[in-house]
Amino acid sequence: QVQLVESRGGVVQAGGSLRLSCAASGHTFSVYAMGWFRQGPGKEREFVAGIYYNNDSSYYGDSVKGRFSISRDNAKNTVYLQMNSLKAEDTAVYYCAAAVEKGYSASIYSLHEYSYWGQGTQVTVSS
C-alpha cells in the first residue's frame, strides 16, 4: 500500500504561480513513476504531468507544456508540481498518483498506469 497526501491548493490570480506537493508513504520502494492529473467541473480526469523514477524523465499534457514542471525529492518521497502562468482553464481538482510494480505497465499518460491516488486538492484560478 502507498499513501499519498497532497498539499492544499488554493485560489490564485490568472498569470500567477502555485506549487503543489505530494508526499508518499508506505511501500514507496515499489513506486516507479508518479503523475499529476486534474479534473475540472464537468470534465473527465486528464493527465497533467508524470515522472519516471529510474531516470527522472518527465512528460506533460499539451495544455500545460512550458508552464508546468514536475520534480521530485527522493529523500522526502515527495513529488512537486510547479504551476506558472496559470489560466482560468487550469481550475480543477488536482490529484497525484503513484504507479507501482503490478505485472503490466501502461502509458504514463494513462489513468490505468496508476494504482494509488491522493485525495485531490482544489486549485482555482481567478481571471
Confidence band, pLDDT 50/70/90 cuts, at residue 64: very high
Confidence band, pLDDT 50/70/90 cuts, at residue 104: confident
**Closest alpha carbon to 14 in 58, 67, 55:** 67
Check residue 8 and give its pLDDT. 96
Q: Judging by DSSP bridges, how do beta strands 78-83 and 68-73 pair with one another?
A: antiparallel
Check residue 12 and give its pLDDT. 98
Query: What is the C-alpha to C-alpha distance for residues 16 and 84, in angstroms, rounded to an integer?
Result: 6
Check residue 99 and give its pLDDT. 96
Confidence band, pLDDT 50/70/90 cuts, at residue 82: very high
Q: Which grid coordinates belong to 8?
A: 492544499
